[in-house]
Chains A and B, each alone.
Chain A
Amino acid sequence: MNSLPATSYLNTPRGIKSWLLTLDHKRIAILYLFSIMTMFLVGGIFAMLIRIELLSPHKVIMTAETYNKVFTLHGAIMIFMFIIPSIPAIMGNFVLPLMIGAKDVAFPRLNLASWYIYIIGTAIALYSIIHGAVDTGWTFYTPYSTTTSTAVIPMTFGVFVIGFSSIFTGLNFIVTIHKLRAPGMTWFKMPLMVWALYATAIIQVLATPVLGITLVLLIVERVAGIGIFDPAMGGDPVLYQHFFWFYSHPAVYIMILPGMGIISELVSVFSQKKIFGYRMIAYSSLGIAFLSFLVWGHHMFVSGQSQLSSMIFSFLTFFVGIPSGIKMFNWISTMYKGSISLKTPMLYTLSFLFLFAIGGFTGIFLGTLPVDVHLHDTYFVVAHFHYVMMGGTVMAFLGGLHYWWPKMWGRMYSEFWGRISAALIFIGFNITFFTQFILGSQGMPRRYYSYLPQYQPYHAFSSFGSWIIGLGFIIMAVYLIHAIFKGKPAGDNPWGALTFEWTLPSPPPTENFAEVPAVEHGPYDFDKIVPKRTFVES
């Protein structure tokens, strides 16, 4: 029977002040965990309200004006306050230094500052709700965003501030990975999660400042009327779209790349087999990061950019399929003849592979010029990015959360309820969003409050699915929180993994490693070593 270590980062030192002023990357990860999950809950509630309203083409619970605000808040909160920081700030902060054998990230104070900046930015953005919220959609497109009477300024300023939190996290990770690896931890001995975080950090650092200046321009345009996005004053609203997507398309890869890193870990550990094509997975992360900067125009096929640019952007978009495909095939090859155990994290991994494949392929449809003209701004697009963002990133996030939960808290959750909730979320997700592919291909436009009667059965079915997802998440919240207090001690290495974090006690001590750890094997050398699992389901 396992027992918990007497002292760990969780209980030394004690007191609320020691948490709020902590420089320990693990504690900062926990601070991020609770704040980001709170935003996930808020964004999720807005999603539920959207689906309830769409049960009927007429008013169900809210007016059209309120509906516009609710879908904007859902999008803005989920994108800027949940999904962008989720994996890097929670899992990255927690495991990155552990995985490379470091005592902390390179700049612990900057790390804590990034959390406070996140909190301040989120508070400013949410302040917009009491000032009438925002009804522009999460993209804040001009000219509507410069003319609407709703509270665009606090929302965009909040997002601007949160951007610095993202930049600081990225900067911290790049330096940590370059300079703080344990001796012997060469680039190609790093776990693939670290590679993915590295590629993510590069995009965060290069793209986020451009979003920052774009939002500054938008705010100045509203406050001072400089006319930079106003055609009547010699400006151009399409310039806003270029600026916005120059950040926001790479941001899509900020969201998915760390998820791919988690999947690389999970697929190898839960197949107890060496990862297939390590180098290609590592390079493909960098390849995706590079390509992410060259495809922003595929959001603007019908915005009036030149046909030539549309063709070039469409062509370049197809290239993204190559590194993504490399990863998919490598993961599947890793599982081939592996000893697969279908624990909760692996269920999420399989969900990811299945759903991300659909999300990725429909992305290729949408990147094709003539198809996009038909599908643009329909529910097909909504379904596509939910398959990538929720079916991809959120599934990977949940897989990682279940995988590292026993390391974070030292205690194991209920495997039974874990599987139930994974199944509910997977089924509910497909009911909700596959239906939307059909709706979109039949012409249902996104962001509409009302619709033609022939769409109602689909909308009702989709809303029904959202309740199943909601039920899955409620169950998950209950058993995960229960595990923090009452779960069985998990031991150092409950899954039989080979990366550094599993050599430490669960939960780890404050200083991580008493001695600088020695690299004795690769992160996935399951062909040479059979690790002992410290946790067996009774």
Chain B
Amino acid sequence: MSQSTEHPAYLQHHFSDAEQQRESVKLGMWIFLVTEILLFGGLFCAYSIYRAWNPDIFFNAHRFMNIELGTTNTCVLIISSLTIALAIRAIQLGKKNQTLVYLGSTFVLAGVFLVIKYFEYAHKFHEGMLPGKFYTFKGIAGTNPHVFFSMYFLMTGLHGIHVTVGMILIGWLMYRTKKGHFSSEYYTPVEMTGLYWHLVDIIWIFLFPLFYLVG
């Protein structure tokens, strides 16, 4: 159908050149990130309303968050943002092995984040600090303390899903890097996954003070 003989393999037939393809993909990715922000935006909006209505609950409940673990996780994610940025730099310079090392570190750091999150969740489950009708904990004064935990599990849960998706994407990038699909000429998927990963990081940077550092 299309005469793609002189085209590089990564260039799709309906783009006239690699630059147009890269620019298109980049714009598409940014628009996608906007939709992600709006998706979380609904939850941030709900958070603001319920915190404004129940300031005491949010203050009393946040004491039961583990600030050490939260801080550790914040550092873990920030470092992972650095490593994925370094991975993009490495592939821009065509250094395949270095790229793999940085992508691998990002993957491991994302895993560490989820493991720490698992221990936090397990502790909350054990204590009965659960959302809505499952809430059984007795230690927090005030009416409807479950509101805090409903928001906590919704927002960190949705964020956790995004971290998991990010790990799948990074694993896929590692596979493709190993296969030699990327080069200093073509590394768009690495760059786009990097953008996504930074978004995941930024959302956590907002979640951390909203739940762990109230008051």
- Give me 7 other A-B pairs in contact (C-beta within 8 A), A213-B39, A228-B147, A239-B46 excluded: A103-B14, A180-B14, A213-B43, A217-B46, A227-B132, A233-B133, A510-B1
The minimal Cβ–Cβ distance linking B50 to chain A, given in whole angstroms, is 7
Chain A 132-147 interface 0/1 with B at a Cβ cutoff of 8 Å (1 = within): 0000000000000000
B residues 17-32 touching A (CB-CB < 8 Å):
20, 23-24, 27-28, 31-32
By the criterion CB–CB under 8 Å, are B31 and A171 in contact? yes
Chain B CB within 8 A of A208 CB: yes
Chain B CB within 8 A of A347 CB: no
Residue numbers in A under 8 Å from B143 (CB-CB): 234
The listed residue (A106, A212, A224) touching B131 by CB distance below 8 A is: A224
The minimal Cβ–Cβ distance linking B60 to chain A, given in whole angstroms, is 14
By the criterion CB–CB under 8 Å, are A210 and B144 in contact? no
By the criterion CB–CB under 8 Å, are B132 and A208 in contact? no
By the criterion CB–CB under 8 Å, are A179 and B1 in contact? no
Chain B CB within 8 A of A33 CB: no
B residues 106-158 touching A (CB-CB < 8 Å):
131-134, 143-144, 146-147, 150, 154, 158
With the chains together, A439 CA to B122 CA distance in Å? 58
14 chain-A/chain-B pairs, Cβ below 8 angstroms: A106-B28, A171-B32, A174-B28, A180-B24, A209-B41, A209-B42, A210-B39, A210-B41, A213-B42, A228-B147, A234-B53, A234-B54, A234-B143, A511-B2
The listed residue (B34, B42, B49, B50) touching A217 by CB distance below 8 A is: B42
Chain B CB within 8 A of A226 CB: yes
By the criterion CB–CB under 8 Å, are B39 and A209 in contact? yes
Closest to B132 in A: A226
Residue numbers in A under 8 Å from B45 (CB-CB): 243
Task: Evaluate whether A171 and B133 lie within 8 angstroms (CB atoms) in the complex, with A212-B39, A213-B39 already known.
Answer: no
Chain B CB within 8 A of A31 CB: no
Chain B CB within 8 A of A102 CB: yes
With the chains together, A221 CA to B132 CA distance in Å? 8
By the criterion CB–CB under 8 Å, are B14 and A102 in contact? yes
- Interface on A for B, CB 8 Å cutoff? 102-104, 106-108, 110, 167, 171-172, 174-175, 178-180, 205-210, 212-214, 216-217, 220-221, 224-228, 233-236, 239, 243, 510-511, 516
The minimal Cβ–Cβ distance linking A483 to chain B, given in whole angstroms, is 28
By the criterion CB–CB under 8 Å, are A228 and B150 in contact? yes
By the criterion CB–CB under 8 Å, are B35 and A179 in contact? no
By the criterion CB–CB under 8 Å, are B24 and A106 in contact? yes
Closest to B43 in A: A213
Task: Evaluate whether A224 and B132 lie within 8 angstroms (CB atoms) in the complex, with A179-B23, A214-B42, A511-B1 already known.
Answer: yes
Task: Evaluate whether A179 and B24 lie within 8 angstroms (CB atoms) in the complex, with A103-B13, A209-B38, A236-B49 already known.
Answer: yes
By the criterion CB–CB under 8 Å, are A206 and B38 in contact? yes
Closest to B57 in A: A234
Closest to B153 in A: A226
Closest to B16 in A: A516
By the criterion CB–CB under 8 Å, are A233 and B14 in contact? no
By the criterion CB–CB under 8 Å, are A226 and B150 in contact? yes
With the chains together, A228 CA to B63 CA distance in Å? 22
With the chains together, A208 CA to B146 CA distance in Å? 29
The listed residue (B20, B24, B35, B150) touching A208 by CB distance below 8 A is: B35
By the criterion CB–CB under 8 Å, are A179 and B132 in contact? no
Most buried by A among B16, B40, B132, B154: B132
Chain A CB within 8 A of B72 CB: no
Most buried by A among B14, B39, B132, B150: B14
Residue numbers in A under 8 Å from B28 (CB-CB): 106-107, 110, 171-172, 174-175
The minimal Cβ–Cβ distance linking B162 to chain A, given in whole angstroms, is 13
The minimal Cβ–Cβ distance linking A172 to chain B, given in whole angstroms, is 8
Chain A CB within 8 A of B71 CB: no
The minimal Cβ–Cβ distance linking A248 to chain B, given in whole angstroms, is 13
Residue numbers in B under 8 Å from A167 (CB-CB): 35
With the chains together, A216 CA to B38 CA distance in Å? 14
Closest to B36 in A: A209
Task: Evaluate whether A108 and B14 lie within 8 angstroms (CB atoms) in the complex, with A175-B24, A227-B150 already known.
Answer: yes
The listed residue (A103, A206, A208, A228) touching B46 by CB distance below 8 A is: A228
With the chains together, A225 CA to B130 CA distance in Å? 11
The minimal Cβ–Cβ distance linking B35 to chain A, given in whole angstroms, is 5
The minimal Cβ–Cβ distance linking B195 to chain A, given in whole angstroms, is 14
With the chains together, A243 CA to B42 CA distance in Å? 7
Residue numbers in B under 8 Å from A212 (CB-CB): 39
With the chains together, A405 CA to B145 CA distance in Å? 60
Closest to B34 in A: A205
With the chains together, A327 CA to B28 CA distance in Å? 30
Chain B 35-73 interface 0/1 with A at a Cβ cutoff of 8 Å (1 = within): 110111111011001100110000000000000000000
Task: Evaluate whether A227 and B39 lie within 8 angstroms (CB atoms) in the complex, with A102-B14, A171-B32, A516-B16 already known.
Answer: no
Chain A CB within 8 A of B12 CB: yes
Task: Evaluate whether A225 and B144 lie within 8 angstroms (CB atoms) in the complex, with A104-B14, A108-B12, A175-B28 already known.
Answer: no
Closest to A109 in B: B12
The minimal Cβ–Cβ distance linking B126 to chain A, given in whole angstroms, is 18
Task: Evaluate whether A210 and B42 lie within 8 angstroms (CB atoms) in the complex, with A234-B144, A239-B49 already known.
Answer: yes
Closest to A106 in B: B24
Task: Evaluate whether A224 and B134 lie within 8 angstroms (CB atoms) in the complex, with A175-B24, A179-B27 already known.
Answer: yes
Residue numbers in B under 8 Å from A209 (CB-CB): 35-36, 38-39, 41-42
Task: Evaluate whether A174 and B131 lie within 8 angstroms (CB atoms) in the complex, with A103-B13, A108-B14, A233-B144 already known.
Answer: no
The minimal Cβ–Cβ distance linking A26 to chain B, given in whole angstroms, is 13
With the chains together, A220 CA to B43 CA distance in Å? 13
With the chains together, A178 CA to B131 CA distance in Å? 44
With the chains together, A235 CA to B46 CA distance in Å? 10
The minimal Cβ–Cβ distance linking A221 to chain B, given in whole angstroms, is 8
The minimal Cβ–Cβ distance linking A208 to chain B, given in whole angstroms, is 7
Closest to A12 in B: B1
Residue numbers in B under 8 Å from A107 (CB-CB): 24, 28
Task: Evaluate whether A174 and B14 lie within 8 angstroms (CB atoms) in the complex, with A225-B132, A236-B49 already known.
Answer: no
